[in-house]
A and B are shown apart, each in its own frame.
Chain A
Amino acid sequence: MNSIDAHIISLIIFLPLLASFVVALLPSLRVAKIVAFAASLATFIASLHLWFHFDPTSVDLQFVEQLPWMPELGVSYLVGVDGLNLLLILLSTFLTPLLLLSIWEFSGEGHKSLMALLLVLECGMIGALVAFDVVLFYIFWEVMLIPMYFIIGIWGGKNRIYATTKFVIYTVSGSLLMLVAAIALYFYHGEQAGFYSTSLLDLYKLAAAGGIPGEEYLFLAFLLAFAIKVPLWPFHTWLPHAHTEAPTVGSVILAGVLLKMGTYGLLRFAIPLFPQAVLLYAPSILALAVVGIVYGALTAWVQEDAKKMVAYSSVSHLGFVVLGSLAIVGNQLSAEALTGAVYQMINHGLSTGALFFLVGMIYERRHSRMFSDFGGLAEVMPYFALMLIIATLSSIGLPGTGGFVGEFLILLGVFQAQPLVAILATSGVILGALYMLTFCRKILFGPITHVANRQLVDLSRREYLYITPLIVLTVFMGVFPELFLSKIRSSVGHLASNFQHYHLKIAGVHPAASDAEPPVDESAVIQP
C-alpha cells in the first residue's frame, strides 16, 4: 500500500474542515468563495482516486488508516472504504461543489459562514461514512448535525426555528439511544474478548462468534436512530418541516446524503451486528417500509407546496431502500435487493437533489413554492422544464434513468423474499408516477395564469453548471449501471450471503495480525 492510499481518506475528511476554517477567517468574500469551491473540488478529485484505485474484486476494507486515539479505552481512528460506502462518499464529494456553486451569488447575510458550514458538513458526512470505529462514527454523526442545525436555523424560512429544533431533537433522541447501545456493545466486547475495543471489525467478530445477548434491544436502539434519519414511517414528521424551512442547499444535502446515513447505518451496523434481531424484526420493518412507500406517495400527491411534495416523496423513496436492505431469502439477504438498495441511495441523492435545486430556482425567481402560483412554465423556461422532466422521470423510476435500476432490483429481490410485500410496494410505482406527473403538470404545463410568470428567465449559465451534472449523471446511471454495480458487487454479495456471520478484514493484513491489541500509548498522562 503506497502512501497516497494510506492517507487519502484522512485527506478527504479533513480537507473540507481545514477549508472551512480558512473560509470563515478570510476577509474577502471573493477569495473565500474561490477557496471553498477549490477545496471542495479538490476533495472531489481526491475521492476520485478512491474510485479508480478501488479493487472491486475484494470484499476487504481498503484504503485503511488506523491510528490509536484513546488507546486505554480501545478507541482508535479507523477509517476505510468498501463497496457499501464507496459510492456514497463520491456522492457527498460530488454534491458539495455543486452546492457551493449554487450559492455563488447568495444575496443574504453570512455567505461565508454558510460556505464554511457546508464544508464542515461535508467533513461530517464523509467521516461518518468511512468510520469503522463506533465512537468515531458517533462523533462524525453528531458533527453532521451541528452545521445542519445552523443551516436550517439561520438561513431557513419563516418557521425555521421550530423546524430545526424538531430536526435536532428527533435526531438526537435517536442517536442517544444508539450511543447507549454502543456503550453496551463496548462493555460486552470487553467481557467476552478480554480487551475493550470500539472497532467495528472487532465487534463484527463478536457478533459472528455467537451473537450478542440482548441483541434485540440493542438492535432496536440502533434501528431507532437510523429509522429517524431515513426517515422510516412513522418517524418522518420532522422531514417535511426541515425540508420546507431549509434553504435550497440545506434541502439538497439533507435529501442527497444525510438521509442516506440512516440506510447506510442499517447496512453497516444494525444488520451485521445483530443478525438474529434482524431475522426477528425484518417482517415488521418491511411492513413499516411498505406503509411508508404508499403513505408517502399519497401524502405527496395532495401537497400544495412543491418542496413539501418532494419531501414526502423522499419518505416514499427511502421506503424502497429500507425494503431492499431487509429482503431475507432463506438465511441470506437477497443480493439483488441489497444491490438495488445501495444503488437507489445514490440515485435518490441525485434525482431528489436535482428536484430540490430546481424547486429552489423557481423559488428564487418568484419567492413562492405554491403550485397555485405556477403553471405553464414550460413555455417561458424550456430548459428548466427539460431538466425538471428528466429529474421527475428518474424519480418515477423510468427505465433509462438510474431510478429504474435501483427500484427494479429492489422489487425483484423483495419479490423473491416476500411476493405480497413486493406487490404492495410496486403499487408505489403507480402512485409515484401519479404525484410526480401531477407535480410537473402543475408547474410546467397548462396556460400561464400569473402575469409574473411571463417574465421569468430561463436557467442562467451558473444554474446550468450545477444542475446539468446531476441530470447527466442520473441518465448515465440508468444507461450504464454496470459501471457502478461492478464496484459494489463483491461487498454487497458478501454482506448478503454472510450477514449472519459477517466479518470484514483490512485489505493486505492477515487476520492474525489484526487480532492483536493495538499498542498502548505510554506517554505520560495525568491521572485524575
Chain B
Amino acid sequence: MLGVILLSPLLGAVLNGFVVPKANKMLAHLLGVLAIGLSFGSALLLFQQFLAGGGEPSITYVFEWIQAGKLRVPVEFVVDRLSALLLLVVTGIGMLIHIYAGGYMREEKTTFRFFAYLNLFIFMMLLLILANNLLLMFVGWEGVGLCSYLLIGYWYSEGANADAGMKAFLTNRVGDFAFLIGIFMTYRLFGTLSFSELRAVVSSSASFDAYTLQQLTLITICFFGGACGKSAQLPLSIWLPDAMAGPTPVSALIHAATMVTAGIYMMTRLNFLFYLAPFTMEVVAWVGAGTALFAATIAAVQWDIKRVLAYSTVSQLGYMVLACGVGAFDAGVFHVLTHACFKALLFLGAGSVIVAMHHEQDMRKMGGLWRSLPITHALMLIGVLAIIGFPGLAGFFSKDEILWRAYLYPGSGHYLWAVGAFTALLTSFYMVRLLALTFYGKSRLDHHTGKHLHEISSIMWAPLIILALLSIGVGYLGVPGLLAIPGVKPHILADYLEPIFAVHQQVKETWAFAGAHHEPFWEALLMLVSVVLVFLGSSIALFSYARSSQPNLGPWPAPGARLYHLLSNKYWLDELYARFIYSPLGDIGEFLWRIFDIKIINGLLNGLGYTILGISGFASFKMSGSVHRHAIFMIAGMLALLYFLL
C-alpha cells in the first residue's frame, strides 16, 4: 500500500519526463492526475486501515541506505497519526490541484515537464512525511526544495523567474545548513537519527542533566532554523513572495498548501525535543508571531493579486509557527489542514482570475469582476471568509484555537495573543481588500481584456468546489469545547493527535496549560474580540475599496505615506540582504580570485620561478649551444673524472 502511495507519483514523474511524447498534452495531464489519483486512493485505503487498526504507528523497513562507522540510516517509513493525516492532505489537495493544472496550463508547450516536476514534488513530499529518520526526511526536505526551484523557474526564459527560483533554493539552503548542523548535533548527543529511537530515549526520562538540556536547546534552535527556511519565517521569509513567479497551481500546491508547511510538520514530528527546550519554544513563538504581523502589514499594500496571497501565506505560516511555539502543536497541525484547503482555494481562484484576465495580475486593472466571473467570485468569497476567520468557516476554528492557546502561554502569552489578534485584523483587511479590488466596485479593465473576459472551464472550477466545501467543513474537526455544536464532537483532531506528543508525563504537565479547559469566560471574550476585529478589518477594506467608485490606487495620503513607503518596499529586507551579504560575498570572491589568487599566491610562485630562472640564466651565459663545445666539455669532464678515480 505504502509502495503504491510513494511509487506511483515517482513513476508518473519518470514516465512524464522520459517516455510520454512531448506533444501529447492530454496524455501528460492524464498521466499526472492518474499517478496522484492512485496515490490518493491508496492513501485513503491506508488511512481507513490505519484507523481500523486502532491508530497504532507502524514502521516499514525497506532497505539499508547508509551505514558507516556507528551511523546506520535505513530507508524506513513510519505511518502514525500524524503522517497518515498529512498523507491524505498532500495527496488529496495535490490531486485536486493536478486536475486544475490541466486547465490552467492548457496553452503551454511543455506540459510533460510541468507534470513530471509536479509528480516528483508529490513523491518528495510524501518521502518527507513518511520518513522515520532525520536524514530521510532531509532527502524529502531538499527534494521538495528542488522541485520548488524547478517549478518557480518553470518559465525559465524569463530571467526573473529563474532568479526567483535560485533565490528560493539558496534561502532554503541557509535553513538547511541549520538543519544539517541540528542533525550532526543530534547524532553526537544521541547516536541515532531515527525518530522512533529518539522518541524512545527522550520520553523515557523526566529530567535530563544540564548539558543535555543545553544541547537540546541548541539542537532545536538549529532545527527551527531549518523550519524558518522552508516555512518562510523571519529572517528567511524573503523567498516566498518571489516564488510566485511560478505557475499558479504551483503556488497553490507547493507554496501554500504543502511544502511550506513542512517546517511545522518537522517541528511537530520532533515535538518531544522541542518540549524539552523552553527557550527555543519562546523563540519559536515570537518569530512566528513576528512573521505573522510582518507579512500581514506588507500584504496590506500589495497590488499584485498573487503577492497578496503570498504574503498572506507567510503570515498564516507565522500563526502555525506561533502555535508550535506555545506548545500547541495540535493547533498548528489543525491550521496546516484548514490553511491547505482555503489557501489552495484562494490561489486557484486567483489563478482563474488571472487566466480570465489573460495573465494580468495587477488588481488595479481589475474590479467589478463578479458579474462576468460569478462562479469564481463565489468560490473566492468562501475562501476569503474562511481565511479571515468568519464564524463557522474553517479559519475561524483553527485561528481561534491558536490565539486562545497563545493567550494561555505563561509569561509572554498575552502579548503573543495581542500580536496575533492584531494580525487577524490586518488579515481581514487585506483579504477583503483583495476581494473588493478584484470583484467589486467599478470595472477598471482595459477594453481589450474586457471583451475577451470569460468564465473558467469546468475542469478548473470543479476541483475548486471541493476545496470550497472543505474550507467550510474541515473546521469542524476542531470545534472548541465552548461552542457545543450538537452532533459534532469537540476537539476531534486534538484528541486524534494526542499520542503523537510523546514526552514524559512530568514534562507534559509543565505544558498542561496547553489544554483548553480553563476559564471559559475569557475564552468566550477573546473569541468575541477576534470576531469583532474581523468585522472591523473587513468593513474598513470594504469601505475604502468597494464602496467608493474611485478607490485610492496609489500610496496612502499624508499621515500614512511614509508607512506605505516602508511597507511597499517590504521593510527593505531584500535590499538589506543584497547590500550586506550578497554583494560583499561577491566582492570577497572577486578579491580572492583577482588579487589573492592571481597576484599573491601565483605571483609568489612565479617570482620563485623567475628567481631560479635568473640564477640558471647566469650559470648558462656561456652556453653557446654548440655541439662541439658540449662535446669538449663532456670529454674534459670525463678526463677529470678519470684522473680523480685513478
Contact = CB atoms under 8 A, between A and B. Distances in A.
* Complex A–B touching at CB under 8 A: yes
Interface of A: 169, 234, 237, 240, 295, 298-299, 301-303, 312, 334-336, 338-340, 376, 378-379, 393, 398-400, 404-405, 408-409, 411-413, 415-416, 419, 422-423, 426-427, 429-430, 433-434, 437-438, 441, 444-448, 480-482, 485-486, 489, 492-493, 496
B1 interface: no
Given A237-B601, A298-B585, A399-B139, A415 B173 contact: no
B156 A444 contact: yes
B619 interface: no
Q: Please provide the 4 A-B residue pairs with the shortest distance between their CB atoms, ordered closest to farther.
A: A335-B69, A445-B162, A339-B68, A298-B589
A357 to B, nearest CB: 20
Most B Cβ at <10 Å: residue of A378, A379, A398: A398
B66 A405 contact: yes
A398 to B, nearest CB: 6
Contacts of B602: 237
B593 A409 contact: no
B559 interface: no
A445 B139 contact: no
B153 interface: yes
A493 B68 CA distance: 9
B176 A429 contact: yes
A378 B183 CA distance: 36
Contacts of B146: 393, 398
Nearest to B174: A430
Contact of B184 (A411, A485, A486): A411
Contacts of A415: 181, 184-185, 187-188
A434 B188 contact: no
A336 B188 contact: no
Interface of A is mostly: helix
Chain B CB within 10 A, most for which of A301, A312, A426, A433: A433
B135 interface: yes
Contacts of A298: 585, 588-589, 592-593
Contact of A496 (B65, B69, B586, B593): B69
B225 to A, nearest CB: 12
Given A335-B69, A399-B142, A379 B157 contact: yes
A399 B65 CA distance: 12
A176 B20 CA distance: 58
B590 interface: yes
B20 to A, nearest CB: 14
Interface string B581-606: 00001101110110001000110010
Chain B: interface secondary structure? helix
Contacts of A336: 68-71
Contacts of B68: 335-336, 339-340, 409, 485, 489, 492
A303 B593 contact: yes
B159 A302 contact: no
Contacts of A409: 66, 68, 71
26 contacts: A298-B588, A298-B589, A302-B589, A335-B70, A398-B146, A400-B143, A405-B66, A408-B180, A412-B183, A412-B184, A419-B184, A422-B181, A422-B184, A426-B177, A429-B177, A433-B169, A438-B166, A441-B162, A441-B166, A444-B156, A445-B156, A447-B157, A481-B65, A482-B66, A485-B68, A496-B69
B465 interface: no
Contacts of A379: 156-157
Interface in B114-147: 135, 138-139, 141-143, 146
Nearest to B603: A237
B304 to A, nearest CB: 22
A301 B586 contact: yes
Contacts of B69: 334-336, 338-339, 413, 493, 496
A514 B322 CA distance: 69
Nearest to A308: B593
Task: Name the residue among B153, B162, B169 with the largest chain A CB count within 10 angstroms.
Answer: B162
Interface in B149-178: 149, 153, 156-159, 161-163, 166, 169-170, 173-174, 176-177
A335 B66 CA distance: 13
B458 interface: no
Given A400-B139, A404-B139, 9 more contacts: A336-B71, A340-B68, A376-B157, A398-B143, A399-B142, A408-B180, A412-B187, A426-B180, A492-B68
B67 interface: yes
B181 A426 contact: yes
Most A C-beta atoms less than 10 A away, residue of B174, B180, B609? B180
Interface string B603-637: 00100010000000000000000000000000000
A399 B169 contact: no
A419 B181 CA distance: 9
A259 B69 CA distance: 26
B209 interface: no
B580 interface: no
B107 interface: no
Contacts of A240: 597
B64 interface: yes
A437 B138 CA distance: 20
Contacts of A400: 139, 142-143
Contacts of A427: 177
A399 B143 contact: yes
A446 B162 contact: yes
A299 B138 CA distance: 28
B63 interface: yes
